């Protein structure tokens, strides 16, 4: 029986992902060997308490729940756009926590990011150095008596290769991994097009590993995966997913994307929350809004139309209003300073 919705937005972890219906025939993948997803361990959670808190307190709208489930069912990336501070990056942590997808893999995009950066990193210089170290052993000879390790290099390729966040997400895990590709609109113009084939085919090749394992028994090598500190098997230098990852690409709407890229994504447009949604967000983070908090919510909403504001600015103002013990006049002045318009400010607005 089909399970809808798989993601409920209720913030209660469950195993619904194991009952996700089979993918459409054109989005079925068969990567091997099948890997068990890493569990979200306590150490990882303790290392990023901010992300853990955001995952627990995220409040999804009905539209968000529907489109997250559409992306999960269709095995398509979710392109999330909207103004700063509307919870675009927090969404993937909330989904990963509820569906128990393990630690979120994160790729922060800059203008210099390339597809290769997301897939894997290979350091030939460190390999050359390791080869020279091996050749300069006690007797000046390598492990095979000729200054090499058996492949003529002095060090295995896999020892100097590490999968990136995208490359790790596409490993043949039994259940989807969660991947955040943050601020894709900051990328070089070519990156969205470069992502098309990888996200469409759910696979990629590591040429250095293809050559190195051509004559190896079984063609298998163990490489380091991103964010785990563990090695995973890769056969014949090719990685193909089994369960397509839950991929969230965020954008602040600073550029347009090619139609070919957009048609391969499920698109979610986040908007500034209304008064009820803001009250729910405040309640999740700071408890029941008091009278002054509701005043700040109203003032925040009255200013949104004149410029960009982020929800965390409102949360900062409400927290300090409760914790500082300042008088009402001082609180108003402080709130004004904590909630400036983002980016290019318009004329000052009376608070």
Span 6-60, pLDDT tens digits = 999 998 999 999 999 999 999 999 999 999 988 765 444 445 677 788 899 999 9
Residue 1 is assigned to a structural domain of this protein? no
Confidence of residue 351 (pLDDT cuts 50, 70, 90): very low
State whether 281 and 198 are in the same domain: no
pTM: 0.86
Q: How many CB atoms lie within 10 A of CB 180?
A: 25
pLDDT above 50 for 154: no
What residue has token string 């601020």? Answer: 183
State whether 252 and 281 are in the same domain: no
Q: How many CB atoms lie within 10 A of CB 332?
A: 17
State whether 261 and 117 are in the same domain: yes
User: What's the confidence (pLDDT) of residue 127?
Assistant: 66
Residue 343 is assigned to a structural domain of this protein? no
Pairing, β 238-240 against β 203-205: antiparallel
With beta carbons less than 8 A apart as the criterion, state whether 228 and 252 touch.
no
Q: Quick one: average pLDDT of 316-342? A: 86
User: What's the confidence (pLDDT) of residue 218?
Assistant: 75
User: What's the confidence (pLDDT) of residue 153?
Assistant: 43
pLDDT above 80 for 77: yes
User: What's the confidence (pLDDT) of residue 138?
Assistant: 55
C-alpha 115: how far from its chain's center? 15
pLDDT above 80 for 299: yes
Cα–Cα distance measured from residue 149 to residue 141, given in angstroms and rounded to the nearest whole number: 10
Give the chain's mean pLDDT.
86
Cα–Cα distance measured from residue 239 to residue 232, given in angstroms and rounded to the nearest whole number: 11
State whether 224 and 315 are in the same domain: no
Residue 252 vs residue 218, higher pLDDT: 252
Residue 290 is assigned to a structural domain of this protein? yes
Number of domains in the chain: 2
Q: CB burial class (10 A; 0-12, 13-18, 19+) of residue 335? A: buried
* HSE-CB for 199 with a 13 A CA cutoff: 29
State whether 185 and 87 are in the same domain: yes
The encoded tokens of residue 265 equal 């994504």
Confidence of residue 65 (pLDDT cuts 50, 70, 90): very high
Residue 148 is assigned to a structural domain of this protein? no
Confidence of residue 131 (pLDDT cuts 50, 70, 90): low
With beta carbons less than 8 A apart as the criterion, state whether 240 and 271 touch.
no
Residue 261 vs residue 308, higher pLDDT: 261
Nearest to 261 by CA among 63, 76, 29: 76
C-alpha 29: how far from its chain's center? 21
With beta carbons less than 8 A apart as the criterion, state whether 228 and 245 touch.
no
What are the tens digits of pLDDT across the range 239-271? Answer: 999 999 999 999 988 889 999 999 999 999 998
Nearest to 280 by CA among 44, 46, 58: 58
User: What's the confidence (pLDDT) of residue 152?
Assistant: 43
Cα→Cα distances 224→34, 119, 182, Å: 16, 12, 23
Domain that holds residue 93: 16-121+155-269
């Amino acid at each position: 029986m089909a399970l809808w919705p798989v993601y409920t937005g209720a913030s209660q972890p469950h195993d619904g992902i194991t009952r996700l219906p089979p993918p459409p025939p054109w989005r079925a993948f068969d990567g091997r060997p099948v890997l068990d997803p890493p569990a979200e361990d306590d150490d990882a959670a303790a290392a990023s308490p901010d992300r853990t808190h955001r995952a627990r307190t995220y409040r999804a709208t009905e539209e968000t729940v529907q489109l997250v489930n559409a992306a999960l069912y269709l095995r398509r990336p979710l392109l999330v756009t909207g103004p700063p501070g509307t919870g675009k990056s927090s969404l993937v942590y909330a989904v990963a926590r509820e569906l128990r997808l393990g630690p979120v893999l994160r790729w922060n995009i800059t203008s210099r990011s390339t597809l290769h950066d997301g897939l894997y990193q290979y350091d030939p210089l460190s390999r050359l150095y390791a080869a020279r170290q091996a050749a300069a052993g006690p007797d000046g000879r390598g492990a095979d008596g000729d200054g090499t390790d058996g492949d003529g290099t002095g060090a295995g390729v896999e020892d100097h290769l590490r999968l990136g966040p995208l490359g790790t997400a596409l490993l043949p895990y039994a259940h989807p991994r969660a991947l955040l590709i943050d601020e894709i609109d900051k990328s070089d113009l070519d990156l969205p097009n470069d992502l098309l084939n990888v996200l469409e085919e759910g696979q990629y090749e590591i040429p250095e590993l293809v050559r190195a394992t051509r004559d190896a028994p079984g063609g298998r090598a163990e490489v380091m995966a991103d964010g785990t500190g563990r090695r995973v098997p890769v056969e014949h230098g090719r990685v193909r997913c089994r369960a397509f990852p839950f991929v969230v690409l965020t954008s602040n709407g600073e550029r347009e994307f090619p139609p070919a890229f957009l048609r391969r994504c499920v698109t979610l447009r986040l908007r500034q929350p209304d008064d009820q949604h803001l009250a729910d967000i405040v309640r999740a983070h700071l408890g029941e809004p008091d009278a002054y908090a509701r005043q700040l919510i109203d003032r925040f909403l009255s200013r949104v139309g004149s410029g960009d504001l982020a929800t965390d600015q409102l949360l900062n103002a409400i927290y300090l209003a409760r914790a500082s013990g300042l008088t009402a006049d001082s609180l108003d002045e402080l709130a004004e300073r904590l909630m400036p318009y983002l980016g290019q400010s318009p004329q000052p607005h009376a608070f």
